[in-house]
A and B are shown apart, each in its own frame.
Chain A
Amino acid sequence: MAGLRIENLRKSFGAVDVLKGIDLDIRDGEFVSFLGPSGCGKSTLLRSIAGLEELTDGAIHLGDREITDLPSAKRDIAMVFQNYALYPHMNVRKNMSFGLSLNGMKADEIDRRVKDAAETLRITELLDRKPKQLSGGQRQRVAIGRAIVRKPQLFLLDEPLSNLDAGLRVTMRAELAALHERLGVTMVYVTHDQVEAMTLSSRVVVLDKGRVSQFGSPLELFHRPANLFVAGFIGSPKMNFLPVRASGADGARVTVSGAGFRQPLAVELAAQAAAVDDLTLGIRPDQMRIGAPETGHLTGTVRLVERLGTESHVHVALEDGTALVIITDGTHPGRAHDRVGLTIPAEAAHLFAPTGEALPRKLDPDTERLLQV
């Protein structure tokens, strides 16, 4: 087993820079997800680690070996592909053993590994079938089995659940978590689904336009996003943003106010920040409160109420047209065209500098503890 260290990794396709200097230090046995919108470079990064893409610059270390220039086969890795990439003309057993037998492994050792992997993944009775005869979930298991039999130091998984239907995805997610627990091997997982990333990973790499936007534990990304991109990307519905001006500062406490604010808001930061005037205030939909008109910080008009049963998503437009979403209880009586007052709890507010960087906020000690991995 081994950790993975990536230094200044760059990759360009012609004039297009896809990865613009990635530095990562993934610990031994960790489950790390690469999360980001399409085109952020997450798959390219994974394929670079796998040796399927030639790097433009940078270095990759697996454990104490540098693997930057090694061919894929010599990197001691295994990869699971999005569309499974099973050999359609080979049965499951052959699919799993193909690479091993060609590399001169003894037949009884191969049999033992295939048997063990099949038992782990509960596909023993499928060993003599062809991929066409399997369901999506079974094929995915075979693809994972093909990775397991290699006993690699590092597992690379490229959106392995995205071709499955929603129900199966949840089941397979739990199975992947259990598998990681059982094998204890370092796993790197690419996904565009933040729920997958948050639930499976010990830490998540959020990628944006070929750069690491933030690398942290799931709760760290949620409670202390490093910048506007992460704040807006993590959480659904996404965080509400309002332009505000700092009207005063007292140590680590910044008082802000914006257009339409009935009263200013005093936000407690983790540390004293350099004085900046123009800021962006971020507030998660579940933290805002709806009340009677002319109460709280802001007043707006309800545009739409989405009833989800356990909760309602209330879409509110402020006077200047800014759209906000508030999550409230499932039986909230609000209706379209209602005038409502909105309250922003100061302890739940995020502040961002004009550069997009967050001013780290003060968290209560219980939450603070949860952020540590």
Chain B
Amino acid sequence: MATATATRRPSRRKARGAGITPWLFISPWILGFLFFTLGPLVFSFVMSLHDWPVVGTRTFIGFENYTTMVQDDPQFWKSLWITVKFGALFVPLNIVLSFLLAVLLNLNLRGTAIYRTAFYLPSVISGVALVTIWAWIYSKEYGLLNYLLSFAGIDGPNWLGDRTWAIVAITVASLWGLGGSMLIFLAGLQSIPKELYEAARVSGVPPWAQITFITLPMLSPMILFTLITSIISAFQQLTIALLLTDGGPVNSTYFFAMYIYKTAFRFHDMGYAAAMSWVMFLIILALSMLVMRWSAAWVYYEGQARKDDADA
């Protein structure tokens, strides 16, 4: 026993003596985090407690920005509501469509690789280029969509100029980026052993039940991930709406993120914009936590059973 401690001691001393070396190795990340993440985070919170014009005097006003937002700013509630509407359209569609596309691509039909690339392509092109393409598609007079509709005898609406259709048009354009979620689902599908489906076939499990009771539970961690990232990107929706409609018509696509952006860079009220950013952060945080809590009921993790066993 005595010899054991005696031999262990020097190695402990050595570990302690390592001192600054390990920190040096992780310092690039730590510095990056301090300057580009934590710093701006704290700074924006400080900003949100001020009346902070881009030029001019900054005055500390405490939580006044926050109270104004909730009590005296109908635009805050309106833009939040528009964002929620958009999320309610975008999140389910993004998950369902990317899942269905992944299932189709997983059938190993001819040309799968080409389709996989094609579906992922919009995810790698610049947002501005994407919006330009969609602006042409949606254009009332010379747009591709209305041109195609004209063959069916339909006189297409002014997609981006109509209060009902504009948000739908933006949702559809946003769905172009579903290649990422599709790839995640596809990877998940390919990791499900094919014997599970063969065993199901032999036991007479119909195809719909194979998807419901085997595929969906096995993909549940990917569904959860996609759900949370979709909610986040729905709240942060800015580029497409800003370039396609600039919030119009009649502010019907004036998203929350756009309101923040315009408050900061058009109305130059940095303090108020920072406060709204914090509110957005808290909403996303709360939603993510709710979803995570709820997910315990339906997400199955490969490693979970072992953990349950250890807990029991």
Whether B202 and A132, one on each chain, are in contact in the complex, defined by CB atoms closer than 8 angstroms, is: no
Q: Decide: A73 near B306, CB < 8 A? Known: A79-B199, A85-B196, A89-B218.
A: no
Between A and B, 27 residue pairs with Cβ closer than 8 Å are A50-B198, A51-B202, A52-B201, A72-B204, A73-B205, A74-B204, A78-B203, A79-B198, A79-B199, A85-B196, A85-B198, A87-B196, A87-B199, A87-B213, A88-B300, A88-B302, A88-B305, A89-B218, A89-B300, A98-B205, A132-B302, A132-B303, A132-B306, A132-B309, A133-B306, A133-B309, A146-B203
User: Max chain A CB contacts within 10 Å: which of B202, B203, B204, B218?
Assistant: B202
Q: Interface 1/0s, chain A 19-57, versus B by CB < 8 A? A: 000000000000000000000000000000011100000
Q: Chain A interface: which size bin?
A: 20 to 34
Q: A87-B214, A89-B217, A89-B300 are in contact. Are A72 and B305 (CB under 8 A)?
A: no
Do residues B196 and A132 form an inter-chain contact, with CB atoms below 8 A?
no
A83 to B213, CA, bound (A): 20
Chain B: residues with CB nearer than 8 A to chain A?
A: 193, 195-196, 198-206, 209, 213-214, 217-218, 300, 302-306, 308-309
Chain A CB within 10 A, most for which of B200, B204, B218, B304: B204
Q: Is A99 an interface residue (CB 8 A)?
A: yes
| Residue in B199, B209, B303 whose CB lies within 8 Å of A102 | B209
**Contact (Cβ within 8 A) A103 B204:** yes
Chain A nearest Cβ from B306, distance in angstroms: 6
Q: How far is the CB of B294 from chain A (nearest CB, A)?
A: 17
| A88-B218 in contact given A103-B204, A133-B305, A133-B306 (Cβ < 8 Å) | yes
Which residues on the B side are within 8 Å of A87 (C-beta)?
Answer: 196, 199, 213-214
Residues of B within 8 A of A129 (CB): 305
Contact B202 A52 (CB under 8 A): yes
Query: Is A130 in the interface zone, CB < 8 Å from B?
Result: yes
Q: How far is the CB of B292 from chain A (nearest CB, A)?
A: 19
| Chain A residues whose C-beta falls within 8 Å of the C-beta of B300 in the assembled complex | 88-89
CB distance from B212 to the nearest CB of A (A): 10
A81 pairs with B199, CB closer than 8 A: yes
- For residue A150, give the distance in angstroms from its CB to the closest CB of chain B: 7
Q: Are B305 and A131 in contact (CB under 8 A)?
A: yes
- How many Å lie between the Cα of A51 and that of B202 in the bound state? 8
Residues 63-96 of A, flagged 1 when their CB comes within 8 A of B and 0 if not, give: 0000000011110011101010101110000000
Chain B residues with CB under 8 A of A52: 198, 201-202
Q: A132-B305, A133-B305, A133-B309 in contact; A83/B195 too (CB < 8 A)?
A: yes
* Residue pair A99, B203 in contact (C-beta under 8 Å): yes
Knowing A98-B213, A130-B305 touch, does A81 contact B203 (C-beta < 8 A)?
Answer: no
A133 and B311 alpha carbons, distance in the complex (Å): 12
Q: Which residues of A contact B304 (CB under 8 A)?
A: 132
Which residues of chain A have C-beta atoms less than 8 A from B199's C-beta?
79, 81, 85, 87, 146
